[in-house]
Every structure is written in structure tokens, then in C-alpha cells.
Amino acid sequence: MMNLPFNRLSKRMHMGLISIWFSGILQAQQPNILWITCEDISPALSMYGDSTAQTPNLDRLAAESTIYTEAYATVGVCAPTRSSIITGMYPISIGTQHMRTGRDMAGWGSRDYSSPSEAVDVNGEAIPLYSAVIPAKVKCFTEYLRKAGYFCTNNPKTDYQFAAPVTAWDENGYQAHWKHRREGQPFFSVFNINVSHESFLWKNKDKPLTVDPATVPVPPYFPDTETVRKDIARNYSNIELMDAQVGVLIEELEAAGLLDNTIIFFFSDHGGPLPRSKRLHYESGLRVPLMVRMPDALKQKYDYDMVSFVDLAPTVLVLANVDVPDYLQGQAFIGGPVARREFIFGSGDRFDEFSDRVRSVISKNYVYVRNFYPEKPAYKDISYRKQIPMMDELLAMNASGELNKNQQYWFRQTKTKEEFYLRKEDPYSLKNRINDPKYQTQIQFLRGAMDEWLTEAKDLGAIPEKELFLKMWPDGKQPKTPKPLVNVKKGKVAIYTKEPGASLAYILSDHEIEPDLDSGWQVYTQPVDIDKGQYLYTLAVRIGYKDSDIVMIEK
């Protein structure tokens, strides 16, 4: 792994302490890996001390898993943080930090944005929808798994800020499933459950509540009203619906006899859906539940080390016994040698129609925030969020002066250049201690960690988004990947590309076809044998570019 200073790895490396239970799995074969992901929940689950929602399936999983108490998204909203999950990179490093740049939310999406007809109005400037062009060396980490023989599926959400290339997944969409692999082929499969998403706070408004509003905990930044309690109860009720879907996925695995040879991850894509959680750079927006069930260690234990979403990609590669590329900014937290994080780094830039630039550092004891535009309000009047029933009430109460100091804090019209909070004494980040003389040493330490991170990450947030867009799309036009080069010799087809960062995909068919996204593209790794009467189709793809034209070879 690249030794990045901003990882601040502890010197207490677990060198040589690869657990016995883990080594046994890899001796015979590469393990299957299942990701069960959900949307928009904080650690509001029984294994984290909150039993408001009844989650028997997650409780069962937790009883046989390692529970990570300090797991964090990189951004408090889906698309930027999902870009870090699939690449192992910070969004600010690869230009995916703005929410949302494109329209690729589920399945393959469209990789041709040549005539973007939609735009986001940001402070009076139209920003067209675009597929982010990320650095040439950066790939979806699943491409490395596929090259190592894994069958990779995603069902169905992508939302990476760029269209998923055909080299990323064997199957990508609502029908994608590990069941479609070859017999004996190891799989890496992702199933995303969306019923806990923010939008279901209003989409499910006519469904019966399964959690009593009178019993829910109300955080101090909300007024204790009937509307607020009902929205909180709806969130917990949605979590219960999500739990039922978790049970279905585990039952499928068990029925197929694969539970004992499959590593299961469960996590949310970022913090909870309620106001002052989602889109925020505090714990409320970044901290998530994360559990990992290892088949050879079926007991509950807690891990208190800090884990970032940039760590997911290298961890899966290590578990799959696949080489980890040097450019990844994360570090494996299972499989050894394992390094311990000292800091979590978070960011917030444009959210829909409102632009800002905020960076945060979270340590075991403190939260440090840097506001690059302190003159901008802390609260962003995002129209999408205003569909949550409590938002009208919160805004009206704020306007009439009915909110107390803690409840008003989110609505402050300007911000300090820096913020500093004590996690144990102030878990909701409501009392800014940036000017407290008792903590200046700690503040300086976190300030230095922030400086190192921004330097090493090469923070692209300093570039105005319109300028960044034009760097990615010269003259406002989406670049296109050149066609691959092909050499046929002695029944073998060798495929090449001169485009830096491009990947190659191919289909070998016994009859002539018209390939589309679902045609079963394979990742090219070495020359392909072709027999007489067969057809080979190939294309080159680069993330953010339009795909190349398809080249056909007939033997």
C-alpha cells in the first residue's frame, strides 16, 4: 500500500497477526462475498444500543459478526460517497464531490452525455449534468475482482457520479444475482435496499407506523412535537421494513448452502435521513452501522477501530486474495496486516442547488470542521429535503423564534471559519469550542491533520465546479474513448488501447449479434482464442468518457 500521511496509521500494526479463522477460508478457495447495503441510516440499531426498531434479521447477523463502532462515510450523501466506495478514493481527489453530477442512479445508466439537456442552477449559474471524468489510473475495484475470476453483480443502485463501465460488473441491474454465475465460480454481489432512504419518509406516509411515536428518542436539535416524533417513528418503521429484506437475502444464501462459504458485509451508504443528519459532515451525517460476518468466526464481537468507506475496496481485495493497487487511498481493516486509523476525513460541497465547501476531521475524541465559505448559511434550503413533513414546521418555528439554542444552531446564517466539538460531552456537535483556550493544542493537532489530508488528496474542491467540468469535458463536450486496436494471429485475438486509463471488454459469440450493455461483456486480460465461425466484439471504456465504437472480428 502507498504510505499516505493522511491515513495517520498507528505504529501498532498487527504484523503477522492474520487471524486463524480468516486464513482457513482462503486455503481452499477464494471466498464468496456478499454486500447487503441500505440507504440513509445511522447506527440506530440494537447492536449499537438503540432498540427502538425491531430488527430480528440484523440481530441474528450481529450475533455472528464483528460490529464496527466507528465506521464512516466520506460524504453525508449518496452519490459522492458511493463514488468512494466503488473506487477506494476520496471524492475530492477524483472530482466526484458534488451532489449530483449525473443521472446514473440504477443499473448501467447512460454513458453518453454528449447533449446534456438538463442542468442544475447553482447560484444563478447553470451546471449541466455530466459524467465525472476521474483520474486515468482509477478503476472500479470490482474490475480487479473480475480479472481474478470473480462473478460480480450489483442490484441495482450505482449512483457513482459516473456511469458504471461494462468492465465493472458481470450483471448490473434489478435482475443481477450471484445465482447466475458459473458453477463453482466465486462471487462478489451487492444488494442495495432503498426503503430506508430519505424519500420514504414521505413516500410511506400512508403506511401504518410499526413504531410508536411516543417511544422514539428525540435528539436535542429537534423540538419535541407530534410531527417530529411521527417522522422519527417513520424512519424507525422503515428500518424495520429494511430488516425484513435483509432476512430474505440471507435466507436465499442459506437455502443455496452457501452461508458457510460467504463473507457478509452489512452497512448503510451514509448517516440517517432526517434533517441535520443527511448531507452533514458531523457524526450524524457520516457515521454508519457496519457489520462483517466471517464464516469461521461466528460470534459477536466489537471492533472500536476507525473505518472509512475508502477502506472497503482494499478490504474486499485482500479478502479475495487479489493484489491491492498502490493508488488506493484506503487500507484493509480485515485480513492483515491491518493498520489502525487515527482520523476519519469527511467533505461537503455542492448539494443539489446549493454550493459550499466544508471539510471535517473526526478522531476518537473530537470533531474538527473547516468552513471555506463561512459567510454562507449552515442550513441549505434544499427543495428535495423540504418534502420531509417536519421541515415546514422546523422552518416556521425558526422564523417565529420558537426554537431553543440547540435547535436554532443548524439554522445559523453564518459559520465560523473553524469548528471544534467534544464527542463524548457533545455527541450531537452543538457546542463549538474552537475558541476555548483549554483545547488549542488538540485543535492545532487536528488542523495539521486536515492540512496534510488536503495536500495529499489534492482537493479538487478548490476549483469552481464549472471550471472543473470544463477540465473534464473540454469545450463542454464529453470525450470519447478511441476504438481498440486488434491483432489476429494463429487463432488468437490480441486487443490493445492507446488511451491512458481505458479498459477493454469483449464478447465471443458463435453467431452474429448486436451487443448492448447486457450482452455479457468480459474483461479483457489476455489474447482470446477464436474458432472458425465465431465472432468477437470488443470495445474500450474509460470512466467518464463515452464508450468507444464496437469493433467486430469474424473468424
Q: Given pLDDT bands bounded at 50, 70 and 90, which one contains residue 501?
A: very high
User: Which residues make beta-bridge pairs with 367?
Assistant: 362, 421
Answer whether residue 109 shows pLDDT above 90. no
Mean of pLDDT values over 8-28:
34
In this prediction, residue 190 carries a pLDDT of: 98
Answer whether residue 124 shows pLDDT above 90. no
State which H helix or E strand residue 389 sits in.
helix 389-399
Are the C-beta atoms of residues 359 and 370 closer than 8 Å to each other?
Answer: yes
Q: Which residues contact 290 (CB under 8 A, 6 or more apart)?
A: 67, 68, 71, 265, 266, 267, 307
Q: What is the pLDDT of residues 30-63, one digit of tens each?
A: 999 999 999 999 999 999 999 999 999 999 999 9
Mean pLDDT (the chain) is 93
Angle at the Cα of 175 from the Cα atoms of 174 and 176, rounded to 5 degrees: 95
In this prediction, residue 117 carries a pLDDT of: 61
Backbone angles phi, psi at 49, to 5 degrees: 95, 5
Answer whether residue 292 shows pLDDT above 60. yes
Burial of 437 (0-12, 13-18, 19+ CB in 10 A): exposed
| Residues known to be catalytic | 78
Answer whether residue 466 shows pLDDT above 50. yes
In this prediction, residue 119 carries a pLDDT of: 86
Are the C-beta atoms of residues 247 and 172 closer than 8 Å to each other?
Answer: no
In this prediction, residue 254 carries a pLDDT of: 97
Answer whether residue 514 shows pLDDT above 90. yes
Are the C-beta atoms of residues 376 and 408 closer than 8 Å to each other?
Answer: no
> What nine digits make up the cell of 291?
457489520
Distance CA 483, CA 499 (A): 9
Answer whether residue 22 shows pLDDT above 70. no
In this prediction, residue 37 carries a pLDDT of: 98
Answer whether residue 18 shows pLDDT above 60. no
Q: What is the pLDDT of residues 67-99, one digit of tens each?
A: 999 999 999 999 999 999 999 999 999 999 999
Are the C-beta atoms of residues 253 and 259 closer than 8 Å to each other?
Answer: yes
> What nine digits make up the cell of 261?
462459504
In this prediction, residue 442 carries a pLDDT of: 98
Residue type, 484: P
For CA atoms 61, 65, 71, 75, the dihedral sign is negative
Q: Which residues contact 528 (CB under 8 A, 6 or more apart)?
A: 492, 493, 495, 506, 508, 536
Higher-confidence residue: 313 or 14?
313
Mean of pLDDT values over 211-239:
98
Answer whether residue 171 shows pLDDT above 50. yes
In this prediction, residue 416 carries a pLDDT of: 98
Mean of pLDDT values over 392-420:
98
334-366 exposure pattern, b = at least 16 Cβ within 10 A, e = fewer: bbbebbbbbbbbbbbbbbbebbbbbbbbbbeeb
In this prediction, residue 19 carries a pLDDT of: 35
In this prediction, residue 20 carries a pLDDT of: 31
User: Which residues make beta-bridge pairs with 37?
Assistant: 192, 267
Are the C-beta atoms of residues 153 and 180 closer than 8 Å to each other?
Answer: yes
Distance from chain centroid for Cα 125: 28
Are the C-beta atoms of residues 320 and 186 closer than 8 Å to each other?
Answer: yes
Answer whether residue 356 shows pLDDT above 60. yes
